Amino acid sequence: MDLKQLEYFVTVINEGTISSAARKLNLSQPPLSAQMKSLEQEIGSQLFFRGPRQIELTEAGRILYERSKDILDLSSRTLQELSDYREGKSGVLRIGIVSSAHDLMAQRAFRPFHEQFPEIRFELYENDTYRVIEQLQSKVLDLAIVRTPFQSDNLTCYTLVKEHLLAVGNKKYFSSDISYNTKHTLSTDRKIATAEPDPNVTISLKELAEHPLIVYHRWLPVLDQHFETLKLQPNYLCINHDSRTGTAWAKAGMGIAILPASAAESLTSKNIIKKVITDPVITSDICILHHPDGYLSKIGTSFLIHMMNYFGISH
């Protein structure tokens, strides 16, 4: 099989019919059908059935479809990287990022880089930390921006910012309506302020244990350890895989979401209270990762240097 066959196959599956794929590829239908037949013969398995409305993949077809997308993406990326090497100031930067870091990075890191390099385009792969790291290890991405905790033994990691974890919810859950101001999440030196907060804007884990909690799944081991040390039994109403779920449920008044400060910044309702978690204080780091053995384009290198300079990291 060759790249052209894989491109034809992926197009057929995406379009749903041979005829539609042929039009998209600017081919007549018989040659495209012949290519698909040849591919099936080479693999030794039927790849799809022609359903009443559209094509349906077999198990072998599903495997080939997923792998083909990766192969074609890597092929496209290789050609782009060769072009980047020649140009250095234009092209595509592929970054994996978790949703809880996106607002902070877009406002205070991506924008100044874009102003400096307006011809560079961004392809953002938004997923959870595990999946983003997996894509970086597979060298599908140039860089990854993720949150702790995570395992990254074979990756180069730089901590960009630290911030408090907050308890965020409707004011009915809190004894005081004085709220932590997330607008000063970044101080003037661009470091997250993690100094001891005003006691009026704090809440202890002991107090939190009395309320329904909305928790991101990767923080469960950390929280469970602290609750166990304090001999407390938490009430986990919702365990989720995306910080946006936490903000949505907190806004709906269903419980108290545990969120990093920057992820809670978009919640501005007067009915929403934000408290810094104390006893103990728990922080979350935003980190940028790259694969030490992977090719990092000039664009990727420029962005990494920009991030390190912006957040005051020596290099």
Domain of residue 28: give its range.
Answer: 3-83
**Does one domain contain both 114 and 34?**
no
pLDDT attached to residue 186: 46
Looking at 65, 83, 101, the residue that finishes a domain is 83
User: What's the CATH number where 11 sits?
Assistant: 1.10.10.10
Total domains present in the chain: 3
Please name which of 45, 34, 31, 36 lies closest in space to residue 13, comparing C-alpha atoms. Answer: 36
**Does one domain contain both 177 and 272?**
yes
Which residues are paired to 96 by β-bridges?
Answer: 125, 144
Compute the CA torsion angle 22, 23, 26, 27 (nearest 10 deg): 30
CA angle 44, 48, 50 (to 5 degrees): 135
Residue with tokens 């990075």: 105
**Does one domain contain both 75 and 128?**
no
Give a yes or no: residue 117 inside a domain: yes
Residue 217 CA, chain-centre distance (Å), reads 15
For the chain, the maximum distance between any two Cα atoms, rounded to a whole number of angstroms, is 74
pLDDT attached to residue 292: 85
Residues of the chain with pLDDT under 70: 84-89, 182-197, 315
- From CA 247, how far away is CA 261, in angstroms rounded? 11
pLDDT attached to residue 190: 46
Please name which of 80, 78, 44 lies closest in space to residue 61, comparing C-alpha atoms. Answer: 44
Q: Is 16 left (phi over 0), alpha (psi -120 to 50) or beta?
A: left
| Report field, pTM of the whole predicted structure over 0.75 | no
Omega before residue 280 within 30° of 0, cis: yes
